Chains A and B, each alone.
Chain A
């Protein structure tokens, strides 16, 4: 059975009801007997008796990703993002849990029987084939007839702006061009879900920013569900419709970029997404007037003269500027609070020069911000 045949004729008609990707209680433990898909680890022990040697890479994940969504998995290195993606693609067998694609349980199906395609972090191009043959590969193995195949390959190469490169070998391309070939090779099959594992990770900053915009545009043009793995919070916030924040094999929060940035569910999310400005314990009681942990985003805080009066709807704290970092458009101030702890404050350099900004070091200041920007952070 080919995935083509199983596809309903009109795509996305039940999109509101059925998730494009649904993960139920997904767990992956490496090092157990019989699950060693990872080659080259060299460990000869396959007895699996020693549970101390196993790694719990994914520790129970429940997630619904809607049809047509640009969904990011954000988290630090080692948090289980790649492993989750590889289970969706079919390269790893889950230790427990289920994977449903458009309502169909694919947990035990091999990769070639799933209607998803992957853009690999290292691109994984076929070095012995031309660019055109790389892109055509999925169509060839699925026996798409020649004329249609050629038209679709040409379309895909045009979409990633690589017309005229079809006879080149991957070895003759730049990193950015290889990345585009990998994208075209996946998109040409018109999968319902595209998985991308840090696809821009190997590119330099400028190219990465260009490709972010381009990827988002392509996703909107083709309407395919993108599941995008990244450790770069900026990237996740700018590109995603929704994102999940991963930590130690679990999801800490799922939401829109605004949700996650402005209402972090946990201390970890507050710290990982954006700068960690946490007020807790005594400091929180003194400044916010409530118990628990709060976060304030650095750009919401204003620097004021020590003797100024805060407005009634404002929270305020006294402190000393400990460090000044000039960032070009912004300046970052690290302020040691009299009530204990530190806050990071960023101010746009609208009227300040670098000299003025840097001379602020050591000065006593009053920090003020609207009380609505005190965001309570859930404790885990």
Chain B
């Protein structure tokens, strides 16, 4: 499409504005992470790595980080298994209520987190399940499953059906066909879905608050608690900066993968 010069300039201005809007807060956060003052004062009074040392020596932070990693990993694995199975069932087989199931699978992502949270909390209490990492994992799985499900369903729609039929034709039973033909075709969809699910789980706070119970803290919960204490603000900035840095990696990978996969299909 050919745009006029004015439109092109306008688009450029808008994108610069959007980028500023998105990234300026992160830049400010980064500056404060290296600012020696314990309070938020502008302009910065110098440069220090001291807050990094303080963060590293805070056991609550490392426990919370480890908790978040465990929860993210478990929720992702659970979502990969359940989301893939659900996607295959909904895509491949027409059965009574197929559309309904598809609708209810996607619904949790639209439900307010507080609703999901309170519903889960009530259920856990009802069934006498102790709050802890397990309950957080279950809570996170509700939306992680959707992410994986959506990714896999989208891929299944694009994959031709005939290689699977060829596999069955050549004597492979359903499991062998899945393992050798379908699964390799889903590979990148699973990877990008998994990365996205992990990223969502890692910074989730609302459902987490409802399902965590008293003794367990994830890193977003720690941050939320820490900003109530003004003296910990610089450490919060450091933790946030590190999280930003690390969350760039999965997002970048997910983008690369889905971009690469699209190129592979069009070939």
Contacts and interface: CB of A to CB of B under 8 A. Distances in A.
Contacts of A2: 171
B168 A3 contact: no
A128 B170 contact: no
Interface string B89-118: 001101110110000000000000000000
A120 B169 CA distance: 10
Interface in A186-229: 186, 189
Interface residues of B, number: 27
Given A46-B95, A118-B166, A171 B157 contact: no
Given A40-B157, A46-B95, A111 B267 contact: no
B172 A112 contact: yes
Contact of A110 (B91, B92, B99, B168): B168
A124 B166 contact: yes
A36 B94 contact: yes
B166 to A, nearest CB: 4
Contacts of B92: 39
A349 B173 CA distance: 58
A317 B193 CA distance: 75
B169 A111 contact: yes
B172 A124 contact: no
Contacts of B170: 112, 117, 137-138, 141, 185-186, 189
A101 B55 CA distance: 73
Interface string A17-40: 000000000000000000010011
A118 B165 CA distance: 9
11 contacts: A39-B91, A39-B92, A39-B161, A46-B98, A111-B169, A112-B171, A112-B172, A118-B166, A124-B162, A137-B170, A141-B180
A91 interface: yes
A112 B98 CA distance: 26
Interface in A98-126: 110-112, 116-118, 120, 122, 124-126
Interface string B162-189: 1101111111110010001100110000
Given A39-B91, A44-B99, A137 B169 contact: no
A40 B172 CA distance: 23
A126 B99 contact: no
A89 interface: yes
Contacts of A112: 168-173
A124 B94 contact: no
Contacts, number: 78
Contacts of A141: 167, 170-172, 176, 180
B160 interface: yes
A124 B176 contact: no
Interface residues of A, number: 31
A120 B94 contact: no
Contacts of B167: 126, 137, 141
Contact of A189 (B94, B95, B171, B180): B171
Given A90-B169, A118-B169, A141-B170, 18 more contacts: A39-B92, A44-B99, A46-B96, A90-B168, A91-B168, A111-B165, A112-B169, A112-B172, A118-B166, A120-B166, A124-B160, A124-B165, A126-B163, A127-B163, A141-B167, A141-B176, A141-B180, A185-B166
Contact of A138 (B94, B157, B160, B171): B171
A127 B157 CA distance: 17
Interface in B130-163: 157, 160-163
Given A40-B161, A112-B172, A128 B166 contact: no
Given A141-B170, A142-B171, A185-B170, A124 B163 contact: yes
A126 B179 CA distance: 13
Interface in B180-224: 180-181, 184-185
Nearest to A118: B169
A31 B96 CA distance: 14
Given A36-B94, A40-B157, A44-B98, A126 B171 contact: no
Nearest to A188: B170
Nearest to A142: B171
Contacts of A186: 169-170
A153 to B, nearest CB: 13
A189 B166 CA distance: 13
A76 to B, nearest CB: 22
A46 B100 CA distance: 12
A128 B185 contact: yes
B162 A120 contact: yes
A89 B165 CA distance: 9
A2 B171 CA distance: 8
Contacts of B181: 126
A173 to B, nearest CB: 13
Nearest to B176: A141
A171 B167 CA distance: 18
Contacts of B180: 126, 137, 141
Contacts of A128: 184-185
A46 B94 contact: yes
Most buried by A among B160, B161, B169, B185: B169
B168 A111 contact: yes
B161 to A, nearest CB: 6
Interface in B250-267: 267
A117 to B, nearest CB: 6
Most buried by B among A46, A125, A142: A46
A225 to B, nearest CB: 16
Contacts of B91: 39
